[in-house]
Amino acid sequence: MKKSTLIIGAAALTAAGCYLYSRTRKQPDHRRKTVLITGASSGLGTEFARIFAQHGFDIVLTARNQDKLDALAYELEQGSGIQTWVIPADLSDAYGAEQLYDAVKEKGLVIDQLVNNAGAGLHGTTTDTDPAAMDRLLELNVGSVTRLCRLFGQDMVKRGSGRILNVSSIGAFGPDPQFNVYGPSKAFELRLSETMYGELFGTGVSVSALCPGPTKTQWARRAGKADSHFAADPYDVALAGFEGMQKGQLVIVPSGTLKAGMVFFRCLPVKLRAVLSSVWQKSLIHKQTKLEKSH
């Protein structure tokens, strides 16, 4: 009797131990992952959304234009089995990032990956640009990116997993005259990404910076210049960003040709780079002005 009692007791203790172990160990996360994409209503943002949908992500779409976001959400959900949420936001507003974060929390959503794609440029020199317009550009390209990285990055660190992609520019690597603070703001995004990569190393959270060159979107026209003749296809650029982000790459330059050109250009004296960049940008601005006059 004593022997059987001991056996039963040992079995009970073993079962209890196994149960407690299973409760305390980290359980695998089988839910579908969710990505937040800013600037999703056009250009690279739309292509990012399509690519993430193809890979089975649920998607939070944000930009200022709700009609375009609604149309994109409808497109993405057709036959894909994913879920989308539309949250309009103006990230050029000083409170836009916090309001977006609060709206995501109110919906009970967990953001596994963040694509900081929203950004803008404006042609004009630093001394001549309207100060209010410059402030909005800095808030959009610097302030909101920093705040969203901090807010959603904190949540990712607590969970021990996550990915952030900041869409910078090839202009981050050198002088970018005639577009006032656009180039410097993109240099900030690159340095922020590099800094956070080091800070979050070992936490399970990766930070990447996508640095595309000219791309065939409406961005250049809205900024007041014509597309370069070697502008890339936005889908190809977004796909390179997606794949590099998933691999945890820090700096992503979308093509070998762009990398080679960047290496050559950076070998030139910085004064020469500044002058050559200014001449090139002026030619694209002049070309766009002529196109608009002809129409």
Pairing verdict, β 34-38 and 58-62: parallel
Q: What pLDDT sits at residue 224?
A: 60
- Could you say which DSSP state residue 102 is in? H
Q: Which residue has the tokens 């309207």?
A: 130
**Alpha carbon 135 to chain centroid distance?**
21
C-alpha–C-alpha distance, residues 26 and 161, integer Å: 12
Residue 182 falls in the annotated catalytic set: yes
Catalytic member of 95, 182, 197, 235: 182
> What integer pLDDT is reported at residue 27 of this predicted model?
42
DSSP code for 142: I
Distance CA 57, CA 207 (A): 18
Residue ranges and CATH numbers for the domains of the chain are: 30-294 (3.40.50.720)
Query: Residues with Cβ < 8 Å from 128, sequence gap 6 or more?
Result: none
pLDDT in tens, the chain (295 residues): 455 554 455 555 554 444 433 333 334 455 799 999 999 999 999 999 999 999 999 999 999 999 999 999 999 999 788 999 999 999 999 999 999 999 999 999 999 999 999 998 787 888 888 999 999 999 999 999 999 999 999 999 999 999 999 999 988 887 777 777 888 999 999 999 999 999 999 999 999 999 998 787 765 556 565 556 567 799 999 999 999 999 999 999 997 777 777 776 777 787 777 777 677 666 766 666 666 677 6
Q: How far apart are CA 66 and CA 262, in angstroms?
A: 37
- Residues with Cβ within 8 Å of 229's Cβ and at least 6 positions away in sequence, in order, are none
Residues 68/60, Cβ–Cβ less than 8 Å: no
Q: Read out DSSP for 178-244?
A: TBTTHHHHHHHHHHHHHHHHHHHTTTTEEEEEE---SBSSSHHHHHT-PPPTTPBPHHHHHHHHHHH
Q: Say which residues have a Cβ less than 8 Å from residue 234's Cβ, sequence separation at least 6.
A: 43, 44, 46, 47, 215, 216, 217
pLDDT value of residue 25: 39
**CA 257 to chain CA centroid, nearest Å:** 23
